[in-house]
Amino acid sequence: MERWVEETLHSGFRVRLKADRVLFDSETEHQQLIIFDNGDYGRVMMLDGVVQLATKDEFIYHEMMAHVPLFAHGRAKKVLIIGGGDGGVLRETLKHDNLESVTLCEIDHGVIDLCREHFPGVSAGAFDDPRTRVVIADGTKFVAETDERFDVILVDSTDPIGPGAVLFTRQFYADCRRSLPRDGLLVTQNGLPFLQAAELQQSIGYFREMFADSFAYLASTASYFGGPMSFGWATDDGDLRRLRQDAIERRYADSGAFPTRYWRPDVHVAAFALPNYIRDLMTG
């Protein structure tokens, strides 16, 4: 008998994926998790009815969350990843040899264990890199209590439902702001502007209260159904998102020009060219 798994994120929009083979279907400590194979998207992970990861296109999201802020900053030594238990953002972040340490704070150790078992190619050994530190904790509590400062903070969160909801609050962003130096940079997962306009609008509104430069950039990931994915951008250094393509190319060359499948210097620059309907969300 065929099994189809339905994504239930949007109130007026449903997508079903055929589960050719189910590898895991159960509750972790914090959420409902299913992992299955699909002929078009590869191996898929869904949390609480929402696609989080598909092996055929994961490189798009992970490269764009990691390389856009890190090449824009150019001097980062310490990075904090909130969430990201699959290890994909961690994998891409560690390609930057100038980094001294990357802290990954994940609330659910079960996600890390299951992803290392069923998606080993996504983390690709990143959890074993000597620069990696894994903290199993609520990300909001971690940033509220830490005395550390990070050059770049990447919030690789789920959508603002269930355990991920607290990662979209004013207080959480304020604590991230406190954990950044003056030239630090915060990047967040902010959903699909076409279907989740309020999510991006709210986050950018909070950023504008706390940072001198608040914006967003886009990437199209096939398994996040409903339009391009937005990444929130917040910093006090407005020059970071206005770097010219030749400057990004020099930084990429200096890094060793490691292979990428989606990110490239011209895509980096173009990702900040937003359609008017998205710009209107951020200024309305």
With beta carbons less than 8 A apart as the criterion, state whether 78 and 149 touch: yes
Pairing of strands 101-106, 132-136: parallel
Catalytic pick among 156, 159, 236, 246: 156
Active site residue 129: no
Of the CA atoms within 13 Å of residue 99, those in its CB half-sphere come to: 27
Question: Which of 71, 52, 100, 64 is closest to 241 using CA atoms?
Answer: 71
Q: Which H, E and C letters describe the chain, residue by residue?
A: CCCEEEEEEECCEEEEEECCEEEEEEECCCCEEEEEEECCCEEEEEECCEEEEECCCHHHHHHHHHHHHHHHHCCCCEEEEEECCCCHHHHHHCCCCCCCEEEEEECCHHHHHHHHHHCHHHHCCHHHCCCEEEEECCHHHHHHHCCCCCCEEEEECCCCCHHHHHHHCHHHHHHHHHCCCCCCEEEEECCCCCCCHHHHHHHHHHHHHHCCEEEEEEECCCCCCCCCEEEEEEECCHHHHHCCHHHHHHHHHHCCCCCCCCCCHHHHHHCCCCCHHHHHHHHC
Q: What are the catalytic residues?
A: 156
